Amino acid sequence: MASHLRFVGRTVMVQNGNVDAAYGVLNRILAQDGVTEAVRRSRYYEKPWRARRRRAFEACRRVYSAEMARRIAFLARSSRQDPWLGC
């Protein structure tokens, strides 16, 4: 087995001959890494204007997700003062 980190991170061990469960785990790992989307995208030619539009949408989604995660972490922090004291 290769010692390359990316390869080791995508290695799934089959336990008790349960190949279906290992296949599901591998699919989940590849989906989280974005490998399946990249393969699906590269299957057909993507016009340049569609590629630009997709990349812009993905960038907007990353910014939105980061901002929402920051806001949720701000609201969920445990050291926050009670805004309605005495109520």
Chain segment 10-69, per-residue pLDDT in tens: 788 888 989 999 999 989 988 988 888 888 999 999 999 999 999 999 999 999 999 999
Q: Is the pTM of this model over 0.75?
A: no
Binned at pLDDT 50, 70 and 90, residue 5 comes out as: low
**Cα 53 to Cα 51: distance, rounded to the nearest angstrom:** 5
- Rg of the chain on CA atoms, in Å: 21
How do the domains of the chain map onto residue ranges?
19-77
Nearest 10 degrees: CA dihedral of 76, 78, 80, 81? 130
Binned at pLDDT 50, 70 and 90, residue 8 comes out as: low
> Residue 7: its pLDDT value, please?
62
